């Protein structure tokens, strides 16, 4: 699996989704694809002020992408089952260390279904991270 992901990973979000990417969103009809594999230099999983799991990515192509939803259920379940804040912080540190061990984690990135969060503009698809894999060194 890691070899396959490494072979299909791209260094920049635009290499995956094309030139119509607008930061962390896209117009559904303008997307070249909805899912891809991103070669990263570093990832940082964190919890935002609303208690939601977020992730910051630094891509191998030099793009810094901050504050994306992190929907990897394996990690979300592990962190969410922590008994107390101290255990949660310890687990979060472990997750970040494990994902970045050896450098170059691989992220599976995709778009949400189209929606307009303010209800006044037009529907957009929002970028999210569906899974992250640590780079396995051969």
Confidence bin at 137 (pLDDT 50/70/90): low
CA 57, chain centre distance (Å): 7
Determine how many CB atoms are found less than 10 A away from the CB of residue 129: 24
Which tens digit of pLDDT belongs to each residue from 13-29?
Answer: 999 998 888 889 999 88
CA quadruple 127, 37, 94, 77: dihedral positive or negative? positive
Whole-model pTM: value is 0.88
Which tens digit of pLDDT belongs to each residue from 94-133?
Answer: 999 999 987 789 999 999 999 887 777 888 899 999 999 9
SS3 for 97?
A: helix
Confidence bin at 48 (pLDDT 50/70/90): very high
């Amino acid at each position: 699996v890691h070899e396959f992901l490494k072979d299909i990973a791209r260094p920049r979000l635009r290499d995956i989704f094309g030139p119509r990417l607008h930061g962390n969103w896209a117009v559904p009809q303008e997307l070249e694809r909805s899912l891809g594999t991103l070669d990263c230099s570093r990832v940082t999983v964190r919890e935002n002020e609303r208690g939601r799991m977020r992730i910051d990515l630094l891509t191998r192509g030099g793009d810094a992408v901050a504050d994306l939803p992190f929907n990897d259920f394996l990690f979300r379940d592990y962190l969410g089952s922590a008994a107390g804040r101290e255990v949660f912080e310890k687990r979060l540190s472990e997750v970040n260390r494990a994902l970045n061990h050896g450098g170059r984690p691989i992220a599976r990135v995709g778009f949400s279904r189209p929606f307009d969060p303010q209800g006044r503009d037009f529907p957009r698809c929002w970028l999210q991270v569906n899974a992250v894999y640590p780079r396995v060194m051969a």
